[in-house]
Amino acid sequence: MPTAAVRYSLAVAVALACLAPAPAADKDKVKITGATVGFRAAARDADPVAKFGAAAPVAVTLQVQSAVDESAELVFEAPDADEVNAVLAVPLALAGVAPGTSVSVTGYVRPAAASGEVTITVRAKSGAPLSEPYRVRVKPREPLQYVVLAIGGVPAGFELPKGATAAGGADPGPLRNGRVELAHAATVADLPNHWFGYEAADLVILHTSAPELLEQLFAPATSPTRDALFEWVRRGGRLVISVGANASRASELPHFQALLPYAIDTKAPARKPKEGAAVLYWSAAGTANTTLTGVIGGKGEPLVLATFVPGTKPARVLIPPPARRADAPDPVAVQQALGLGRLTVIGFDLGTAQFTDAQVRADFWDWVLRDGGAYRASAGGDGKARPAGALTEDEDEVAVALRAHNDTFDGVAVVSFGWIAVLIVLYILLIGPVEYYFLKRVLGRLELTWVTFPVIVLTVSAAAYLSADAIKGRELKVNKIDIVDVDAHANRVYGTTQFTVFSPKIDNYTVGVTPAAGWPRADQFHATVSTLGAPRGGKPGIVRRKYAVGGLDRDLGSELGGVPIQVWSTKAFGANWAHDFEAGARAKFESNVFHPVGDPARVLGSFTHHFPLPPLTDCVAFYAGQAYPLPGGVIVRGEPVRLMLDQGTQATQWLQQNGQLDALLNNAQAYRDRPGQKAGQKAQPNQQVLGPSGPLPLWGLLFHEAALKNEDGAFARNASLRRLDQSWRLHADNRDEVVIVGRAVTPVGPAEAVLTGAPALLSLKGQPGSADRWKIPGTARQETWVRFYLPVK
């Protein structure tokens, strides 16, 4: 028999073998040579541009050091706002790749923590590491940052008008106190191949002056990169395309022509104005029916303008504006809706010397950001200076309001910090002076503290647990909001879902969103799910928890696996989803809306929807800048709704008077406590906030900029959800569609019954959309807002 010393030596050897890292040969099979998170910043020495909470592309370069004979994957780990690591695994095809070969791979993360570190590792499917961990420090921009992404390189002379000097006489800088930032992607290879890779961009500008980029993006019959860009637009993105010198080649590309509001004339695709310069007119900021004018070109090579011809698509001519079309009849800038997004085409190159040398360059760029992007948001927000790349605790109040509303549960009391502080003081007094006095003066035996101290601790702990159990309850609760946009132009539905889960115990959840009964099949439903939170986030523990992010086969985060939620805690989630719906005999939507003969200002007709929605109330129609509350205000599935729109109220006036924007924003404490309010008007925490079970008025989200009043201090507060703002459709020139808005509020009830009647079916355990989906216990509150976009014939 071995001696004790031998047994001890063997035990130590076994322990060291278990603790030893994998053999160096395995970890050296692949070397990660570089990684970049986000888009390149235009400013010199600035960090790459990624935004807090938004998906960002991660460009990774690898070098194969020795042969890899098994399936591999590239693993990305990044903390969320609660400092819990989200883990995404991207398949890698390295089998048969010769040693010394470099490989480029793109993954995605959501920078959502102040620490901002992304860890990248190559590992085998078995879990064995094939590379050393590679760590990238990320400095995400705050949600309020307005990011302009230029495709095709940095536009020369990108400049915005300078406002008044900042407080203290400081120069406000060229890009509005740092609130507007320019990023760029030089080639097609730099672009994301999934639509969510553009989430950090508020406006994308595509230059076609580089023929290679034009060919690579639009010549192929199929292009995941092109599809990703335009799917992002359809889900609410804003895209500006400038085309001039390459108009002739662009006119020969059917995939380019098919996307334009106006086609490029194939017979005469380009034209040169007299004397090589063009006099342009465009709308001024902040004033109605006022235009600016400027000369583009006239120096060096003549300016080249694309020749646009109207097509069958509904579109608006932006340049020249209606008041100046007698002076300049040829369209230079045109715009159309593409799903929820906005596509603007400008008929000359924004990066050539003819434009960059123009004196009106800054004013024209200002117009591009306003009428091509977001009218008020691009103005720089609250005007506070922001150092480049700074992440503060500032958030847009609309996003905070939605989270705060969803975080308020019936029957779950919130104990104020004041009470907690009082109880802590009482506990300290109890285990200190009170216990000492009792043992010293009453019993006269201080040694009994060995008994009384643990008894007090256990008793107080038990009392605290039982009190929390009585106050918080043992029931799982879910609050959920669905925003559904039905695009009858393209037979497509877009959805945004936000929900918060209250867990009565420590548990892990598999979170996903799938179509509910009566909606399309799961394979036609494209969704991404992510966690939500504030920039300040939480603090990492000694052992950082993790959850898995769904793969990239269709959408990033189609599900989140094993998300930990602590006892009596909440966690917020968001989902972005879309699907097509059937046309023809089995159509989910029927519309026959038209202009009376000879009267384009009026609209007649009817529509019927067959979506499995509860009755919609408080319904309003918007057409050509006017609001028309529907008679009765109710839309019921399968019942025709007749429209006769001839006498309305100005849409902005109706929204400012009836949109309850303050009621929405008062859910955010920063808005309630904002400086500069008039005496006696400061909102209280619950003022205009419709109780825990009451519906949240979302008019100020759906048409945010239109609901803002034209007064000093009014600025956009919807940065994180700007893509849902359809205020730009409420233009008097938009006579090609009617927008119908309504809402449905389901009373709080059994979670499974309430949530299965919603447009997006929530899963918390089991495979989302499968037979083993967990029937959610507890209670739930569901709120649904719907917008129908009806084409006018």
Give per-residue pLDDT as tens, 257-266: 999 999 999 9
Q: How confident is the model at residue 473 (pLDDT cuts 50, 70, 90)?
A: confident
* Least confident window among 193-202, 398-407, 415-424: 415-424
Q: How confident is the model at residue 686 (pLDDT cuts 50, 70, 90)?
A: very low
pLDDT value, residue 523: 72
Amino acid in position 193? N
pLDDT value, residue 156: 84
| pLDDT of residue 169 exceeding 90 | no
Q: Are the CB atoms for 476 and 741 separated by under 8 Å? A: no
- With tokens 């990066």, the residue in question is 351
516: alpha, beta or left, given left = phi > 0 and alpha = psi -120 to 50?
Answer: beta
pLDDT value, residue 96: 85
Among 312-326, 335-349, 413-427, the range of highest mean pLDDT: 335-349
Q: How far apart are CA 734 and CA 742, in angstroms?
A: 21
> For 372-387, what is each residue's pLDDT tens digit?
998 887 665 555 666 5
* Least confident window among 267-281, 481-495, 520-534, 631-645: 520-534
Give whole-number Cα distances, 356 to 277, 558, 609, 748, in Å. 13, 44, 50, 58
pLDDT value, residue 507: 95
Q: How far apart are CA 74 and CA 123, in angstroms?
A: 7
- Reported as half-sphere exposure (CB side, CA atoms, 13 A), residue 786 has a value of 28
Amino acid in position 682? K
pLDDT value, residue 31: 94
Q: How confident is the model at residue 13 (pLDDT cuts 50, 70, 90)?
A: low
Report the pLDDT averaged over residues 436-450.
86
Q: Are the CB atoms for 307 and 247 separated by under 8 Å? A: yes
Nearest to 73 by CA among 145, 7, 126, 37: 126
pLDDT value, residue 171: 46
Q: Residues near 402 by Cβ (< 8 Å), separated by ≥ 6?
A: 481, 498, 667, 696, 701, 721
pLDDT value, residue 518: 84
| pLDDT of residue 681 exceeding 70 | no
- Helices and strands (DSSP H and E) totals, the chain: 18, 37
pLDDT value, residue 556: 67
Q: How far apart are CA 324 and CA 508, in angstroms?
A: 62
SS3 381: coil
Give whole-number Cα distances, 491 to 429, 558, 598, in Å. 68, 23, 29
Report the pLDDT averaged over residues 146-173.
73
Instruction: Give 331's DSSP letter.
Output: -
* Least confident window among 167-181, 196-210, 235-249, 661-675: 167-181
Integer-rounded Cα Rg, in Å, for the chain is 30
pLDDT value, residue 170: 46
> For 519-563, what is each residue's pLDDT tens digit?
877 677 889 999 999 887 555 556 678 999 986 555 667 899 999
| pLDDT of residue 168 exceeding 50 | no
Give whole-number Cα distances, 742 to 99, 591, 614, 698, 745, in Å. 60, 17, 11, 10, 10
Report the pLDDT averaged over residues 448-454.
88
Report the pLDDT averaged over residues 758-781.
89
**Other residues' Cβ atoms within 10 Å of the Cβ of residue 104:** 10
pLDDT value, residue 587: 74
Q: How far apart are CA 425 and CA 423, in angstroms?
A: 5
Report the pLDDT averaged over residues 126-153.
92
H-helix or E-strand spanning residue 247: helix 247-251
**Other residues' Cβ atoms within 10 Å of the Cβ of residue 591:** 24
Report the pLDDT averaged over residues 744-761.
90
Q: Are the CB atoms for 768 and 466 separated by under 8 Å? A: no
Write the DSSP assignment of 106-138 as a string of letters.
Answer: EEEE---SSS-EEEEEEEETTS-B-S--EEEE-
Strands (E), 243-378: 263-264, 270-271, 277-283, 291-297, 305-306, 308-309, 316-319, 333-338, 341-346
Q: Provide long-range contacts, Cβ within 8 A and 24+ apart, for 290-294.
A: 291/321, 291/323, 291/324, 292/360, 292/363, 292/367, 294/358, 294/359, 294/360, 294/363, 294/364
Q: Which two tokens stand for residue 43?
A: 């400013």
DSSP β-ladder status, 291-297 and 277-283 = antiparallel
> For 689-741, what is each residue's pLDDT tens digit?
444 446 899 999 999 999 998 876 678 899 999 999 999 999 998 999 999 99
**Other residues' Cβ atoms within 10 Å of the Cβ of residue 602:** 17
pLDDT value, residue 585: 47
Instruction: Give 653's DSSP letter.
Output: H
What mean pLDDT, rounded, does the chain reach?
Answer: 86
pLDDT value, residue 789: 96
User: pLDDT over 70 for what percent of the chain?
Assistant: 87
> For 35-78, what is each residue's pLDDT tens digit?
999 999 998 888 999 999 999 999 999 999 998 888 899 999 99
SS3 588: coil
DSSP β-ladder status, 117-124 and 72-79 = antiparallel
Among 109-123, 142-156, 411-425, the range of highest mean pLDDT: 142-156
Q: Which two tokens stand for residue 357?
A: 């040398």
Report the pLDDT averaged over residues 556-579.
92
Q: Which two tokens stand for residue 743?
A: 């809402």
pLDDT value, residue 672: 86
